[in-house]
Chains A and B, each alone.
Chain A
Amino acid sequence: MGEKAKGFFVTGDPLIYGADVSIIITLLGILIFLTYFKKWGWLWREWLTTVDHKKIGIMYLVSSLLMLFRGGVDALLMRMQLAMPNTHFLQSQHYNEIFTTHGTIMILFMAMPFMFALFNIVIPLQIGARDVAYPFLNAMSFWLFFFGALLFNLSFVIGGSPDAGWLSYPPLSELAGSPGPGQNFYIWGIQISGIGSLATGINFLVTILKMRAPGMKLMQMPLFTWSVLSSCITIIFAFPVLTVTLALLFVDRFFGAHIFTATGGGNPMMYVNLIWMWGHPEVYIVVLPAFGIYSEIVSTFSKKKIFGYKSMVFSMMIISVLGYFTWVHHFFTMGAGADVNTFFAITTMAIGIPTGVKIFNWLFTMFRGRITMTQPMLWTLAFIPCFLVGGATGVMLAAAPADYQYHNSYFLIAHFHQTLIGGVVFGYLAGLYYWWPKMFGFKLNDRIGKWAFWTWNIGFYVCFMPQYALGFMGMTRRVYTYGWDMGWAPYNMVSTVGAFLMGIGFVFQVWQILYSIKHGERDLTGDPWNGRTLEWSILSPAPHYNFAHLPAVKSDDAWWDMKNHRYGAAVQDNIKEYTPIHMPKNSGIPFLMSACWFVAGFGLTFEWIWMGVAGLAGVGICLLARSFQRNTDYYIPVDEIKRTEASLGRVV
């Protein structure tokens, strides 16, 4: 291998060589499979060029589960390194890279796409629409995310991973502190996928505002739809800040500017302020939809209308606004002064109020309800105590003077994992189990699901409760090893055992999915849970155009109302004549344009200007090509609708 190649490919670590081999084998496997079964055309027509929100949702879902695996492996490697004192399993440099990629991947390439998967799969169905407001843009968002994630993950085997922490604080992340391409991978991977996230925020906001079924008023929208609305508003206000922050870091590194540098008049703490102006709203962006999911599930499986609908809506909107005024609590130790710290301590604690309102609403919904213990309900029930403890430790951290003690200790690590796993991941998994039959037409196996649930949950507490204690004992985050004299060994060992239990839980889930594809209970009714909202009024999986007739909504819990109060009228609606349905055409441009972004990002990462310019020129050409397109949509003829509805078993 030549000298140049040595710098290009990451060498010297057996773990990396193992990854190289497995990546090559997987790629070869995919290529051979596609060629042998002649699936290339199918892949292009059905997936790479699709603008169907349901398919885009499934692609988001698959990518996010893959990223959950990658981020999970990172976590297990860290826990193995920390299980015992003085371990030499990972070098300090490798450990830095792993905690950096673990955080970045879990938030930006796992939680965000998982959330977008649920947006895509559920929102148009839930509001009775046939697609999102901008289907083309929706496809572009996905491919931008995909290629951004690809670029970020490439750093693992080419050029070297970023190693300056998941938010890459300068001056460490500046050229002087991180000279290699790793930090550039970070900037461009996130920047490219971030543009996609921003576009999704705009897309779903307009979808919800403009495309609701006739008759559905704002205050009749399902709570998941409300949660997505509030999340999108937060995206629209927070993500531009991320774009600017990363761009400025790039300007520093690429042009040698002094915006965040420690010398030449730069100000590193400005980066920390800016990144958390995005970073804190970001945690609300991901948790609000989870709140929406819990609301749907609690109401469905308690067979009751949600308790306190209006207060639910208001508390979500308050959270999305208040979430923008708490960012300084991530660095009380900056020394902004008592007045500033007091302001942010109060706003942070105030967020506990609307959240508490929501918890009580869920509890009161269950009170005297006829509860069925399905898998989605199990995850919801596990969420409540878990999030409560996570919230309480959050209030502890919000007490600014005390925070000087907890800051950057394992207490913090335990806190945010408790809210992000107990709140966000449990929520998305609950949503996955809940809407899985709508996506694929079958339920996920119950028995294996319960094994997964219990190993995940027990594993969670075994893993993170000791970390609160470790924080009090003085263990700081990001240490790669410690001595016997610290007294941390037993707690760390227990924590590692818990992490592996969660890993086993994930394996159970993979097994559960594979098993259920073959043996899962088919959903022939389209309404397997006796649901309340419109997505359950059509068959599973939903036809390409979702609704043959747009539903007419007269109340909240629209489908429940149709089923129980005006069934006759609903049937009358269904036997009306079909009319041709207006749909967007597939397009290859989102894929190609995002691929061009990838080329540009890769070029700029290695500072190969010719490649960066070529990629950006490609992006420009794609934009112009799209601007010049005129026939971007078509009509589905009545015959085809009749055939589809009949093949799905619906009487025509």
Chain B
Amino acid sequence: MAQSAISVDAHHEHQHDTFKLLGFWIFLVTDCIIFACLFAVYAVLRTHTDGDLTGRELFEVKGFTAETFILLASSFTSGLASLAMHKGSKKQLLGWLAVTVLLGLSFVGLEITEFANMASEGAKITTNGFLSSFFTLVGTHGLHVSFGLIWMIGVMVQIGRHDIDSLTKEKVTIVGLYWHFLDVVWIFIFTVVYLLGVM
């Protein structure tokens, strides 16, 4: 062995931290493909309204614009949280994470309201191919956001218990990565679904 066994082992352990991050990036690749498929399905079924209302009549500009700004803002605050973490300020970190969670919650709330309004107008998942693919694509994103909220609260509890250490740092980084990813997906939903829908 070129190096001593001790340094080889230490070298391996040190790398364990980057393993999780790399694995999570690859997971995001798979999640990206999941959304790509859902977008493709939406693109095929977009015009399959079966004689019913189209996106132009159904989508409310105010609602989806508000959702967009709120989610973009939450991505920004989650970035501020990670800056606070690198400064080592637990208070600020928890504060910005809490703001992120609140913004995320209001996003989910708005989305549920939007879906409920559509359903009350008779635009349900069962109505036609267009709406089936719309609810599946946007709903999958919404489920991701909801899952992320529970996750983020879990991470906050852990920071409260253990302060900022290498483990909680890694967790904040990964959940932040997930959150930004959802933001990017939303930008595509905003463009492909809503903007093209109302144009």
> Which residues of B in the span 1-18 have a Cβ within 8 Å of any Cβ on A?
1-6, 8-9, 11-13, 15, 18
In the complex, A563 has a CB within 8 A of chain B = no
Distance (whole angstroms) from the CB of A567 to the closest CB of chain B:
15
Contact (Cβ within 8 A) B37 A241: yes
**Within the assembled complex, what's the spacing in Å between the Cα atoms of A236 and B31?**
10
Interface centre among B12, B20, B27 (most CB of A within 10 A): B12
* Number of chain B interface residues as a range: 35 or more
- Least CB distance from B111 to A in Å reads 17
Q: Which residue of B lies closest to A206 (CB)?
A: B23
Q: Which of B1, B19, B157 contacts A552 (CB 8 A)?
A: B1
Question: Which of B44-52, B63-71, B85-93, B99-107 contacts its partner?
Answer: B44-52
Is B158 an interface residue when CB atoms closer than 8 A count as contact?
A: yes
Interface flags for B111-133 (1: CB within 8 Å of A; 0: not) read 00000000000000111111011
Instruction: Contacts A202-B26, A550-B5 given; indicate if A133 touches B37 (C-beta within 8 A).
Output: no
The reply to whether the CB of A251 lies closer than 8 angstroms to some CB of chain B is yes
Select A258's contact among B4, B12, B13, B128, beta carbons within 8 Å.
Answer: B128
Contact B167 A630 (CB under 8 A): yes
Q: Does A628 contact B (CB under 8 A)?
A: yes
Which residue of B37, B150, B151 is within 8 Å of A274 (Cβ)? B37
* Contact B154 A264, beta carbon cutoff 8 Å: no
- Give Cα A252–Cα B5 distance, bound, in whole angstroms: 57
Do residues B125 and A202 form an inter-chain contact, with CB atoms below 8 A? no
Chain B residues with CB under 8 A of A549:
1, 5
| Cβ contact within 8 Å between A266 and B132 | yes
A335 at the A/B interface (Cβ < 8 Å)? no
Q: Is the CB of B33 within 8 A of A627?
A: no
Report the separation of the CA atoms of residues A551 and B48 in the bound assembly, to the nearest whole angstrom: 61
| Contact (Cβ within 8 A) A251 B132 | yes
The contact of B129 among A240, A265, A579, A627, by CB within 8 Å, is: A265
- Residues A214 and B133 in contact, CB atoms below 8 Å apart: no
Within 8 Å CB of A267, what residues of B?
A: 44-45, 48, 129
Q: Is the CB of B125 within 8 A of A255?
A: yes
194-234 of chain A: CB within 8 A of chain B: 198, 202-203, 205-206, 209-211, 214-215
User: Which A-chain residue is minimally distant from B129 (CB atoms)?
Assistant: A265
Chain A residues whose C-beta falls within 8 Å of the C-beta of B84 in the assembled complex: none
- Contact B49 A133, beta carbon cutoff 8 Å: no
List of A residues within 8 angstroms of B171 by Cβ: 627
Residues on the A chain within 8 Å of B33, using CB: 237, 240-241
What 0/1 pattern do residues 395 to 420 of A give for CB contact below 8 A with B?
00000000000000000000000000
Contact B48 A265 (CB under 8 A): yes
Partner of A257, one of B9, B20, B132, B162: B132
Contacts of B162 in A (CB 8 A): 630
Asked if B196 is at the interface of the complex by the 8 Å CB criterion, the answer is no
Q: Are the C-beta atoms of A264 and B128 separated by less than 8 Å? A: yes
Chain A 259-301: CB-based contact to B (< 8 A → 1; otherwise 0): 1010011110010001000000000000000000000000000
Select which of B30, B127, B151 is within 8 A of A240 by beta carbon: B30
Taking the complex as formed, is B110 at the interface, i.e. its CB lies under 8 A from any CB of chain A? no
Question: Taking CB as reference atom, which chain A residue is nearest B162?
Answer: A630
Contact A628 B154 (CB under 8 A): yes
- B198 contacts the other chain (CB 8 A): no
Which residues of chain B come closer than 8 Å to A209, judged between CB atoms? Answer: 22
- Residues of B with C-beta under 8 A to A577: 5
Q: Sample 6 A-B pairs with CB under 8 A, ordered by A number.
A: A134-B20, A210-B19, A215-B2, A266-B129, A274-B37, A624-B154
Since A214-B3, A552-B1 are in contact, a sample of 4 more A-B pairs with Cβ atoms closer than 8 Å, ordered by chain A residue number, is A206-B26, A214-B8, A577-B5, A578-B5
